[in-house]
Structure 1
C-alpha cells in the first residue's frame, strides 16, 4: 500500500485493522520488524505475542502435553489451550498459515 494522503480520524475497527496489517507487511527484515514492534507494542505486549507464537510452534512441532508446555515456558495453561484452539479449530488459521510458510518447503 502506498500512502497517498493523510488518514482521516476513524473508530472503524476494520479500517484500523486494515491499516495496521498494511504497516505490518512493510518490514523487509527481522530487524525492521523488531523496530516496528518496539514502536507499536509495550514490552509486555511483545512478550505475550512472542510467547503465543512459541506455544503455537510447540503445539504444532512436538507431542508435548499442554501441562508440560505450561511448565517449560511459564505460559498460562489458559493461553496454551487458547493457542491450541486457534491453531487447530478456529477458521482464521493465521497460526497455521504462518507455521506452514516458515517450513522449508512451505507446506505442512
Structure 2
C-alpha cells in the first residue's frame, strides 16, 4: 500500500500484474493494495485452457476513474470487437467465478 500511495502522490498509476495470482486468491485483493489496473491470466491462475485454441480470457479490473477508457459493449455499438471471437469462451468465466467464490 505504501508504494502505491507514493506513486499516486506523484501522479502515477499502478498496474498490478496478475499473471500468477495463485498465492493471493482468497487472501488479498489488488484493489485493496492500491492498484489502479489489474489483469488476471485465468489459464495460469486457475489452469483454465485457452478456450480450445483461443481466444484466451483474462479479465481486467480497473478503478472507477479509468472506466471511461474501457471499450464499450460490442452489442451497443460503442466499440468494435477486439478479438475474432468477441464474447470469448462462455464456459471459462463461470468456472473461474466458482473457484473465487
TM-score, normalised to structure 1's length?
Answer: 0.29
| RCO higher in structure (CA 8 A, sep ≥6) | 2
Choose 1 or 2 for highest CA Rg.
1
Hey, which of these two has a bigger chunk of strand by percent? 2
Hey, which of these two has a bigger chunk of helix by percent? 1
